[in-house]
Amino acid sequence: MLDVLSDLYIITTNQIQISVRLQTASAPGQSLLSMLYRIITKEGFFKIYSGLTASLLRQATYSTTRFGIYEALKGYYVNKSHNQHPGTAVLLPLSMAAGATGGLIGNPADVVNIRMQNDATLPIDQRRNYRNALDGLYKICKNEGMGSLFRGLSPNLVRGVLMTASQVVTYDIAKVFLIDQIRMDPSKKSTHFGASLIAGLVATTVCSPADVVKTRIMNSKGSGQNAISIFKNAVSQEGVGFMFRGWLPAFIRLGPHTIVTFLVLEQLRGLRLGM
């Protein structure tokens, strides 16, 4: 499963890069295509893959943890209650616990990921120039202390909770709806595709505000601003629309990623491998 998700992450890293650039931009109005064109023409084609190693490390820590814990908790509940289709009231707290744990474990890789992707926008004397994810982790610990690996942890925990809850709970509910109401075959990939597409749309929209705030905190140089102050300043200076800046590239990444993730999970369930 991890190999499949890693391949997909390599393909969609340029969407993450553009999303981060849009979220950290001081002025609104830049589009997906204009940002992509600007990166390629001014920095080179391969700059759209900046932070690839950090993206893969984040994937291996954050997503693996939250999906694994959620499936384990849900399986435990199903075995104990003999209820094969737990409702939202049960799934939400399970997904929130899994998302918070994933956000905690994946935070260091996320800090490096965001810094590597946004490094080229900084003045030359302020750039970090991390060679790869491990080099970034080492330099952060050496120059700023281990505490900096958990910069932006609060909004990242919120994002992890929102992402996991909106993603996995929406998928489970959407799949039950498609099976019970639309009469789709539960074993067909088309059913899994439809439910995962809905989950990707909901997750991208729900998580966008926390994602933007988290990105700005992690990219900062320790100005002392917390999530609330950054949120207030952004709303007053840029309007409420700042919360959904970078939504399109975020969905272009998260949509396919969500679809492949749940298609693979369903195959693992069918084969009873690791599930």
Band (273; pLDDT cuts 50, 70, 90): low
pLDDT at 162 over 80: yes
| 229: its two tokens | 């102050």
State residue 2's pLDDT score: 42
Query: Which of the residue ranges 17-21, 75-79, 124-128, 268-272 would you say has the lowest mean pLDDT?
Result: 17-21
- Domain ranges in the chain? 2-271
pLDDT at 113 over 60: yes
pLDDT at 269 over 70: yes
Query: Which of the residue ranges 156-170, 219-233, 236-250 would you say has the lowest mean pLDDT?
Result: 219-233
Are 201 and 251 contacting, i.e. CB atoms less than 8 angstroms apart? Answer: yes
pLDDT at 243 over 90: no
What distance separates the 2 farthest-apart alpha carbons in the chain? 61
State residue 87's pLDDT score: 86
Specify the 3-state DSSP secondary structure of 208: helix
Band (192; pLDDT cuts 50, 70, 90): very high
Specify the 3-state DSSP secondary structure of 246: coil
Residue type, 220: S
User: pLDDT tens, 137-147?
Assistant: 999 999 999 99
Are 250 and 15 contacting, i.e. CB atoms less than 8 angstroms apart? Answer: yes
| 173: its two tokens | 């509910």
pLDDT at 249 over 60: yes
Exposed/middle/buried for residue 213 (C-beta within 10 Å: 0-12, 13-18, 19+): buried
pTM of the full predicted structure? 0.71
State residue 14's pLDDT score: 47
Fold of 2-271: Mitochondrial carrier fold (1.50.40)
